[in-house]
Structure 1
Amino acid sequence: MDLFEEDVPGGGPDNAPEFSVSELSGAIKRVIEGEFSHVRIRGEIGRVSFPRSGHVYLDLKDDSAVISGVIWKGVAGRLETRPEEGLEVIAVGRITTFPGQSKYQLVIEDLKPAGMGALMAMLEKRKALLAAEGLFAPERKRPLPFLPEVIGVITSPSGAVIRDILHRLRDRFPRKVLIWPVAVQGKACAPEVTRAIEGFNRLQPGGALPRPDLLIVARGGGSIEDLWGFNEESVARAAAASAIPLISAVGHETDTTLIDFVSDRRAPTPTAAAELAVPVRAELMIWVNEQGGRLLRAETQAVQMRAQRLRDLGRALPRPQTLTERARQSLDIWGERLPRALTGLAQRSRVKLSEQAGSLRPGILTRRLSDDRRRFEALSGRLDPALRRMVSAKTEALGRRTDRLSVAPIQRELLRQSGDFQRELRKFAQVAEAGLRKRRDRLEALDRLRLSVGYEATLERGYAVVRDGEGRVLPRLSAACDAATLEIQFADGRLTVGAEAAAAKAAEAKPDTAPEAAETPAPKPVSRKKPSPPEQGSLF
């Protein structure tokens, strides 16, 4: 009332002083902050939002009222308890107003769960959330390596836990150990453990710092508040996402945290984690020695059994000479038959070649080509009159039907038939040209074959062909003497001589005969002409 009324006679609402909205909001803010500068409120967290600014906005409620709250970015990063919907907490802060919306709110400076029940409720809620995502499923847990080369340990470097682990590893099977020091309780526990798990996984195999084959997250026993850092969601998700198999050894046998459910193996104590990590070296050596002895005995027994089996089979085998006698005899028989078989094969091939060469004489090929050419010319000469007669017949038939057809369809039909005729004529010309080209190629191939097997090539080596006046080949001297004239074919031409001169020369060639001197007729003129393709004859 002091803000709106003054002690003046007759004062009333009409005489109240005027305030701007900002002045009134500021006055209310000073009054509220002066009366409630430090309060502790117990309530359940309702709506929670985490905008990009880093501040946290939430509602605190009970059965009948709700109050808005805000946690500034600097304070939110220092809180041990992350605000979650449904969590019962005790908030410490101050009441202030927000003039922009004409409402009051609690600026929270500290936030803690309201007793053990609140912590357990929050733990059960996180456990249900992670279980729904399948992070506790047995099928996603990986087997531990049998004998890891490097073991990464995430724990406090100053406690007894690391000494117990190193001592147990040294007794069982010494291995390389990388220690990542972290805080195992308090506000720094969860972020440091999360960074340690992620840091080990980021190491590259074969790098300067070796990548562990197995991780151990260890801590000694304590209250639930001391172990709460291992119940944080960030730690559980980092352990679940680890590509390196992970053993959880947090607390004693009865202590259970979220990291125990998502890890690949849970150890009741840190010492038990070391026992799970490596086998006993002495037991391994005894087992290896036993296996080596069994292997040696098995190999010796196997060799002896196979040697005995080989001796038994060797006694049942025949002598080597007996195995090769039949093959040796067959080889002798076939060796004797081989020369005769080769001679007979050569003779049969020679006869077959002579038979085939007889059908390739130039005269026969020439006559066959001439017959084909005459037949083709006769057919080509008949084609044009036949086509003309067919066109004339079609034209007459078309003229007879002119009275029943209109001019336009007749013209289209004529054009169509003319086009068909031209196409057929072109097809015929193409077929005729292809046939002629095929026969020409065949004739050229036969002519090349004739030249390759003919006798003209033999004339180049000094041989000659002798014929009588009628063109018959004379293979014998007696036949040459009986001929009136002789025609001798050389490689570069032909020579026509009388039979008497040839006989006289033949008689002089015989030493034991002395023919009387006879008058030698004057030689006939020599006729030189290019050799024509004669029939196949004998060579001299």
Structure 2
Amino acid sequence: MSLAETPATNATEYSVSELSGALKRTVEDNFGHVRVRGEISGYRGPHASGHAYFALKDERARLEAVVWRTSFQKLAFKPEEGLEVIATGRLTTYPGSSKYQIVIEDLKPAGAGALMALLNERRLKLEAEGLFARERKRPLPFLPRVIGVVTSPTGAVIRDICHRIADRFPVRVLVWPVRVQGESSGAEVAAAIEGFNALEARGPVPRPDLLIVARGGGSLEDLWGFNDEAVVRAAAASAIPLISAVGHETDWTLIDHAADRRAPTPTGAAEMAVPVRSELLASLAACHARHDAALSRSLVEQRRTLLALGRALPSPDMLLGLPRRRLDEAAAGLDRALREVQTGRRHRFAESAARLQLDRLEALLRDRRGALRHAESGALHGLTQILWRRRQALSRLDGVLNPRIVASRSQEARRHLQFLEARLIQTTERALARRTERVDTAWRMAGSLDPRRVLERGYAIIRGEDDRPVTNPDELQPGMAFEVEFAGRRRRSAIAAGKPSAAKPTQRRRQPAPAGQDDLFRK
């Protein structure tokens, strides 16, 4: 068909701008002043220009809203995310995007929105179960080897996280791709958390040491999947420490309460996950330097202390000087003490020898014999007197008793008297035996003191011309005659007048004296 054959029409032809302008005027004329009830969604605070942009919604529709800076400053009630409000204003269109919106002039609260009420109810329920308790939260590993990220693989979030980790401390990153918006996002995020926890530590796919659940900013409806109860329970039950990085710093979801740590942004989560490698190297180098410096200072101090101690120690000559002097003094004192002991022993021996002279021993024997005879006579006389007195008493008793009375006494009395008489005789005999034994003992002791007994054991007595025992060898002069008394006889001898021979006579070793002999000469 050719252009000339195109059928003609009566419809007016408009340009896009003309049609958009006509629609704008129609909307503004018919809805110049309206009141709309709805829930605030997507509010992020005033823009840098001072204007505020958000949306009003209910169960079936959504209306874009704007508050210009001049009207925003006059509002008695500032808008908040999730609140149900009554907005007063006028409708208009935005030709640049074929949208219509309400320009709000007044805003009043109408109650909490349905989504916020549901979110608050779910939060209170999970908090009552203890899923948000602080003691359940675990510390993050200082330097994880593998980090698992649960997010969309095509968004800017994963690129920001990987880039930030690579800049700080490159580690292995595993991405579990999920939808971060929509009806199935909650189930996919919960399955991803459980899937990471189900990995084996040494399997073909390594088990992460840290999990990051991340998403960019958005409205409450966009982030609603992270408020899902399954997601919150999976995050609380995760055996791997988990960081929640959902939305911007002003966005809060229920997974933020259940996670071990909340990051304001996905980039902040990457900064929390790993330290800065360069800073660690610098700290390590500083620690090494401090350690080396401390070790050097310690060695210098110990050397200084050792030198000071060495100077304080005395020399070997100083240490041995006093013991050497004491040893020399002890050696000199030993000879002197030996001579003094020898002299003392000689004096005591001389005194003992003087006491053992023959005339003294004979006088002592005479005294002991006289004392023994006197004791013997006294004992015999005493025993005789006792026997005589006992017999006199018995005689008097026999004379006093009448024969007829005695005969009338019982046989038992007679036996008693006979028993007493036998005991008297036995006691007298025992006393006499003891006295006799004492006399014999004294007699034997006196015999042991007899000088002739000493001579029988090999000793001799040197007597001068006057028959006096010579006790000092200096009394024997050359040419002097003397007698040597042995056991049973004497021999005359004299000292030669010539000089003594230079050869020393051989000394015979003294035989040990019999037992008891030393006691005889020791006083």
Q: TM-score if structure 2 supplies the norm length?
A: 0.39
Q: TM-score if structure 1 supplies the norm length?
A: 0.38
